[in-house]
């Protein structure tokens, strides 16, 4: 059985280089993004309606 060729490497979604710090995010962390969006919406609503 012939071996299938490897898929080409996809570029990272976000790459940050600041001095010695090098952070790479390969794919979007959907659960984390959902949590942060929900948290921001809740805080925003509580601030908005507490006026």
11 vs 2 pLDDT, higher one: 11
Distance (Å, rounded) from C-alpha 43 to C-alpha 37? 10
Distances in Å between the alpha carbon of 36 and those of 12, 18, 27, 28?
Answer: 21, 24, 16, 13
State how beta strands 21-25 and 14-18 pair: antiparallel
Confidence of residue 23 (pLDDT cuts 50, 70, 90): very high
Q: What is the pTM of this model?
A: 0.55
pLDDT tens digits, 25-49: 998 889 999 999 999 999 999 999 9
Average pLDDT over all residues of the chain? 90
Give residue 1's pLDDT.
Answer: 67
């Amino acid at each position: 059985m012939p071996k299938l060729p490897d898929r080409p490497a996809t570029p990272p979604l976000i790459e940050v280089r600041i001095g010695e710090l090098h952070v790479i995010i390969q794919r979007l962390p959907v659960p984390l993004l959902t949590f942060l969006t929900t948290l921001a919406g809740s805080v925003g609503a509580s601030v908005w309606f507490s006026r």
